[in-house]
């Protein structure tokens, strides 16, 4: 049966309203405060360290994001940790909140399709995240300009923008997950808790689980050659499993972008390093080629999770 | 009078449970139609199907000549709906809430603010327009819900349990607002489980029972059909035993004497004149004579008592 009328009627209205809600909410204030604090803290240490180094570094600017001073993690690892939290905070009550406030049936009684409502909510939250992350990125870059006194090269700017885009894709995955849980669970608190559980699973427990699971994929070696092969297989299995986690994908992708010296993200055999000039940076195109599967993976995960949410929401009864 | 809502054999099943079981409805332009019945008798599900908010299992619906499942946008543009539990975004003002639905309804920006002011004025919320909805009372929320419907300038207003959680004064005020809609040629479909409260405003009613329409028609016609007599006359008279004499009167169906000197006469027509003449003739001192409209609740109770007895 064909439905008449565009499914996107009212989309712009939903996006505008949801974004206004996000940007004025107390929740957003807290997140912004937290982010600024993190930026200030990590910048302070990284700029201090960079000023002390006298070695010539063609990618001085990118070090701003990656350098860490012992107790404090780098800006990059902070983001890897906090972006999911931000995304969860914006998404965990997006659908069940409408049910709880009893606004859903009133909104759906307007001449719009559900498609516009759910896509509008997703886009508004994603735009809010993108806006916050872009602002943060500009603060860090601007502070770098001020305190280092060195302008970034064209390639550094491009790599920095790439970093921002990957971070937004990473945020989209967690946002889609939070919305999926918010459609599945009627209670916003349950959805938030479930999302935090997944976040903890991937940021803390996944490496342990991978260590435990990887050997199960590899048979018992019979001799020395087979043992070597088995070790390589185990490492491969470990890598494949750990890449199920969006955190790993994000970590590897940003590593390759911000450390141009990164030549590979997997196992390297000695033979493969022959004739390579160790420590020489890759051109941007090659780095992008290296992380292309990662970026595709992140985008695919976000789309898959959102599609699930979409289907679930379409089938839900208006009256809960 | 043309039909604006037509349902034929409308059925809704959730899994194995039949919520609405083959109902037929025909609602004409400009009337106030009541869907009445206890909770869980299928009223809200019927309404959701009329709006295309839930799928129809079997049967057909036409709203303003359109199929709500195929052309929901066109239907929802012309039909206003106030849900039984009406909720708003608590952190926004009444005006901001209406602006959001107004924009979703596709009302032109140029006229939106005017229409919001007009709708708020009609429901008496002009003073509270810029206050946060979080601070509104239940009655104010209901009225804001009605403003939300009026904003669209709908041809049909569907109000689900509009007097739920309202005190008697607020209920009366709200029913007056509904009657005002009728004056503006808006067809009103309302549902309620409080038969007494809404019977006064409904032109016609459909009594729901377990997903079916048990009875349909005007209140008077239903009373005629179910209670046998459409009229109930209360006579207070002292001095003589009138019951046998009253029973012989033409048009009288039954007479009972709940207490001495007080007679309750069920009749198929208004026989007050004959009753008065008979009482005076018998030498009784007539103290009062009144015609009582039979209530829907009584119709309902009596109908289902009879169904149970038959079973």
Query: In B, which residues are within 8 Å of A4 by CB distance?
Result: 70-74
Confidence check: pLDDT of B201 > 60: yes
Question: Is the Cβ–Cβ distance between A319 and B55 less than 8 Å?
Answer: no
Decide if A26 touches B, using CB distance below 8 A: no
Query: In A, which residues are within 8 Å of B86 by CB distance?
Result: 102, 106
**Residue B148 is nearest to which of A1, A106, A112, comparing CB atoms?**
A106
- ipTM at complex level: 0.88
Residue B88: CB partners within 8 Å, gap ≥ 6?
A: A101, A103, A106, B94, B97, B133, B136, B141, B144
Beta bridge partners, B33, equal: B189, B204
| Banded model confidence at residue B246, pLDDT cuts 50, 70, 90 | confident
- Min distance A97 CA to chain B CA atoms (Å): 10
- Closest chain A residue to B76, measured at CA: A111
**Residue B105 is nearest to which of A5, A14, A111, comparing CB atoms?**
A111
CA distances from B246 to A69, B235, B257, B278, B285 (A): 105, 10, 11, 7, 15
Kind plus residue range of the DSSP H or E element containing A203: none
Decide if B112 touches A, using CB distance below 8 A: no
Span B6-18, mean pLDDT? 93
Stretches where chain A sits below pLDDT 50 are none
Span B278-301, mean pLDDT? 83
Interface test with A, best of B61, B67, B72 (most A CBs within 10 A): B72
Q: How many CB atoms lie within 10 A of CB B307?
A: 11
Q: Residue A107 and residue B82: Cβ atoms within 8 Å?
A: no
**Residue A111 is nearest to which of B70, B73, B145, comparing CB atoms?**
B73
| Residue whose entry in the numeric block shows the structure tokens 């006359």 | B233
- Closest chain A residue to B68, measured at CA: A3
Give tens-digit pLDDT for A75-128: 888 888 889 999 999 999 999 999 999 999 999 999 999 999 999 999 999 999
Query: In B, which residues are within 8 Å of A313 by CB distance?
Result: none
Q: What is the pTM of this model?
A: 0.90
- Min distance B52 CA to chain A CA atoms (Å): 9
> CA torsion sign, B49 to B104 to B96 to A88?
positive
Question: Is the Cβ–Cβ distance between B129 and B93 less than 8 Å?
Answer: yes
Q: CB-side exposure of B200: number of CA atoms within 13 Å?
A: 11
Question: Is the Cβ–Cβ distance between B265 and B235 less than 8 Å?
Answer: yes
Q: Is A269 helix (H, G, I), strand (E, B) or coil?
A: coil
**Residue B89 is nearest to which of A5, A101, A105, comparing CB atoms?**
A101
Decide if B80 touches A, using CB distance below 8 A: yes
Please give the Cα distance from A4 to A1 (Å, whole number): 10
Question: Is the Cβ–Cβ distance between A158 and A284 less than 8 Å?
Answer: yes
- Min distance A111 CA to chain B CA atoms (Å): 4
Confidence check: pLDDT of B263 > 70: yes
């Amino acid at each position: 049966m064909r439905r008449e009328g565009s499914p996107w009627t009212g989309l712009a209205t939903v996006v505008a309203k949801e974004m206004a809600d996000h940007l004025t909410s107390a929740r957003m204030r807290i997140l912004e405060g937290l982010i600024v604090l993190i930026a200030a803290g990590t910048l302070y240490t990284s700029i201090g360290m960079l000023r002390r180094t006298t070695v010539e570094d063609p990618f001085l600017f990118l070090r701003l994001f990656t350098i860490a001073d012992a107790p404090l993690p780098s800006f990059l690892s902070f983001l890897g940790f906090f972006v999911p939290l931000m995304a969860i905070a914006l998404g965990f009550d997006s659908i069940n909140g409408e049910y709880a406030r009893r606004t859903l049936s009133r909104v759906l009684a307007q001449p719009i399709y559900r498609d516009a409502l759910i896509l509008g909510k997703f886009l508004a939250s994603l735009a809010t995240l993108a806006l916050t992350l872009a602002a943060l990125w500009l603060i860090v870059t601007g502070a770098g300009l001020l305190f280092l006194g060195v302008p970034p090269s064209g390639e550094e700017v491009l790599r920095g923008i790439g970093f921002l885009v990957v971070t937004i894709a990473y945020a989209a995955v967690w946002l889609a997950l939070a919305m999926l849980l918010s459609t599945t669970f009627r209670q916003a608190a349950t959805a938030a808790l479930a999302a935090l559980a997944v976040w903890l699973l991937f940021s803390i427990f996944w490496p342990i689980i991978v260590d435990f699971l990887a050997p199960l994929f590899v048979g018992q070696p019979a001799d020395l050659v087979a043992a070597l092969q088995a070790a390589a297989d185990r490492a491969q299995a470990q890598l494949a499993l750990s890449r199920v986690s969006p955190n790993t994908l994000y970590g590897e992708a940003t590593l390759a972008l911000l450390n141009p010296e990164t030549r590979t993200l997997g196992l390297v055999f000695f033979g493969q390093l022959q004739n390579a000039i160790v420590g020489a940076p890759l051109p941007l195109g090659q780095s992008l080629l290296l992380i292309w599967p990662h970026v595709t993976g992140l985008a695919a995960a976000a789309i898959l999770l959102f599609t699930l949410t979409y289907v679930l929401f379409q089938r839900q009864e208006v009256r809960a | 009078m043309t039909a604006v809502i037509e349902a034929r054999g409308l059925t809704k099943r959730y899994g194995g449970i039949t919520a609405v079981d083959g109902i037929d409805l025909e609602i004409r332009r400009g009337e106030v139609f009541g869907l009445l019945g206890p909770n869980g008798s299928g009223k809200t599900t019927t309404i959701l199907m009329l709006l295309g908010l839930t799928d129809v299992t079997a049967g057909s619906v036409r709203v303003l000549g359109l199929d709500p499942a195929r052309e929901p946008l066109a239907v929802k543009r012309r039909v206003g709906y106030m849900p039984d539990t009406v909720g708003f975004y608590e952190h926004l003002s009444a005006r901001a809430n209406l602006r959001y639905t107004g924009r979703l309804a596709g009302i032109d920006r140029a006229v939106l603010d005017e229409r919001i002011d007009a709708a708020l004025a009609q429901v008496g919320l002009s003073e509270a327009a810029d206050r946060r909805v979080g601070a509104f009372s239940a009655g104010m929320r209901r009225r804001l819900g009605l403003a939300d419907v009026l904003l669209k300038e709908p041809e049909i207003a569907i109000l689900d349990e509009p007097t739920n959680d309202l005190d008697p004064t607020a209920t009366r005020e709200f029913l007056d607002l509904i009657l005002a809609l009728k004056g503006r040629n808006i067809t009103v479909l309302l549902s309620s489980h409080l038969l007494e409260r809404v019977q006064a405003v409904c032109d016609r009613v459909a009594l729901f029972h377990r997903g079916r329409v048990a009875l349909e028609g005007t209140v008077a016609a239903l009373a005629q059909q179910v209670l046998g007599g459409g009229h109930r006359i209360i006579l207070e008279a002292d001095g003589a035993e009138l019951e046998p004499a009253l029973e012989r009167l033409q048009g009288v169906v039954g007479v009972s004497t709940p207490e001495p000197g007080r007679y309750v006469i069920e009749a198929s027509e208004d026989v007050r004149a004959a009753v008065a003449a008979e009482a005076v003739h018998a030498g009784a001192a007539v103290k009062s004579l009144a015609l009582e409209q039979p209530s829907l609740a009584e119709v309902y109770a009596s109908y289902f008592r009879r169904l149970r007895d038959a079973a």
